[in-house]
């Protein structure tokens, strides 16, 4: 009898604790940064993370970009560059690669790889306190309420000059780089659209050629606060209630 009662009490309070934990758990917060080629994004995201880490309601903010490929590759038992190649071209495999796949016990289909990458990105977004740079984050995390989706743009002339200086390229080569990379990013995003005509929606679109870095950070932080994300997150933490 005592054991039966003890088991019941453990189960009852265990379920109660689980419900309480689930009540306080909320997906996000997450910020996604989509950008035109030449607008950067990593440096801005790092500065943004520094400011966000001054808050007390969230764990340490991190910037996520290449980590998506390395984590996906780890789960798939593939090399990161092979995962990346799947998304960089519409010509997914050469004839030789198709033949060799039959003898490779670790071969993974494009569908499996895409599903894994989506899950990795969505898990980062769900766990929260991260800034996802590129990687179709705004499409994959569009079901998360506590998310701010940012798009960075700039005039083509400004971007050409930026790429030219950053990569020590002629302006002609910089323009070629921009066009080729933009096509690759478009192909990557196509993998995660529900259909080819799915619109890409953002909370805020910023022409970064018009603002200094610190002001860009303030603009994004203001949008983050005005969307009410910090207030929503504080409600989920017991000692803020």
Give me the residue spans of the domains in the chain: 27-240
Task: Give the pLDDT confidence of 170-212 residue by residue, as tens digits.
Answer: 999 999 999 999 988 888 888 788 776 667 889 999 999 999 9
Are the CB atoms for 205 and 190 separated by under 8 Å? no
Judging by beta carbons within 10 Å of its beta carbon (0-12, 13-18, 19+), is residue 173 exposed, middle or buried?
A: middle
pTM for this entry: 0.74
Answer yes or no: is pLDDT of 134 > 80: yes
Task: Give the pLDDT confidence of 75-88 residue by residue, as tens digits.
Answer: 766 676 666 665 55
Q: Assign domain 27-240 one CATH number from 3.40.50.300, 1.10.3210.10, 3.40.50.2000, 3.40.605.10.
A: 3.40.50.300
Are the CB atoms for 30 and 125 separated by under 8 Å? yes
Q: Provide the sign of the torsion angle of the four alpha carbons 220, 222, 224, 226, taken in this order.
A: negative
> What is residue 16's predicted lDDT score, i.e. its pLDDT?
45
| Chain centre to alpha carbon of residue 219 | 20
Q: What is the mean pLDDT of residues 6-32?
A: 57
Answer yes or no: is pLDDT of 238 > 90: no
CA 222 – CA 115 distance, rounded (Å) = 34
Task: Give the pLDDT confidence of 81-114 residue by residue, as tens digits.
Answer: 666 665 554 444 443 444 344 444 444 566 777 7
CA 100 – CA 110 distance, rounded (Å) = 15
CA 182 – CA 113 distance, rounded (Å) = 22
> What is residue 19's predicted lDDT score, i.e. its pLDDT?
42
> What is residue 203's predicted lDDT score, i.e. its pLDDT?
95
CA 27 – CA 11 distance, rounded (Å) = 26
């Amino acid at each position: 009898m005592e054991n039966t009662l003890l088991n019941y009490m453990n189960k009852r309070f265990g379920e109660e604790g689980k419900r309480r934990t689930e009540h306080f758990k909320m997906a996000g917060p997450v910020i996604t940064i989509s950008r035109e080629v030449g607008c950067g994004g990593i440096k801005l995201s790092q500065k943004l993370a520094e400011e966000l880490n001054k808050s007390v309601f969230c764990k340490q903010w991190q910037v996520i970009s290449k980590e998506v490929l390395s984590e996906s590759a780890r789960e798939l038992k593939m090399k990161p560059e092979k995962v990346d190649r799947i998304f960089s071209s519409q010509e997914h495999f050469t004839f030789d690669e198709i033949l060799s796949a039959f003898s490779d016990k670790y071969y993974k289909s494009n569908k499996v790889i895409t599903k894994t990458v989506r899950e990795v990105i969505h898990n980062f977004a769900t766990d929260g306190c991260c800034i996802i740079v590129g990687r179709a984050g705004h499409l994959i995390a569009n079901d998360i309420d506590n998310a701010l989706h940012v798009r960075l743009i700039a005039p083509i002339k400004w971007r050409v000059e930026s790429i030219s200086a950053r990569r020590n390229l002629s302006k002609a080569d910089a323009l070629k780089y921009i066009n080729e990379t933009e096509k690759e990013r478009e192909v990557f995003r196509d993998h995660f659209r529900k259909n080819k005509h799915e619109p890409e929606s953002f909370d805020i679109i910023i022409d970064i050629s018009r603002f200094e870095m610190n002001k860009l950070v303030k603009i994004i932080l203001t949008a983050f606060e005005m969307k009410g994300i910090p207030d929503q997150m504080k409600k989920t933490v017991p000692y803020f209630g």
